[in-house]
Amino acid sequence: MKLREEQSRLLLHAHGIYVTEVCDRCTRILGPVRWTVQGQPGAWCSRKCRDGFDHKAHTCHGCGVSLNGKRKHARFCSDTCRKRLQVRNQRRNPEMPIGDKGLTDAISPSGYGDSREKPGGDQEPSNAPELRT
Beta-carbon count within 10 A of 22 CB: 19
H or E element in which residue 96 lies: none
Q: 22 - beta bridge partners?
A: 29
The reported pLDDT for the residue numbered 6 is 92
H or E segment at 113?
none
What are the tens digits of pLDDT across the range 99-108? Answer: 555 655 566 6
Sign of the CA dihedral 119, 120, 125, 130? positive
Q: How many angstroms separate the CA atoms of 19 and 6, rounded?
A: 11
| pTM score above 0.85 | no
Nearest to 19 by CA among 34, 4, 33: 4
For residues 29 and 18, what is the distance between their CA atoms, to the nearest angstrom?
10
Regions of the chain with pLDDT less than 70: 86-133
DSSP label at residue 98 = G
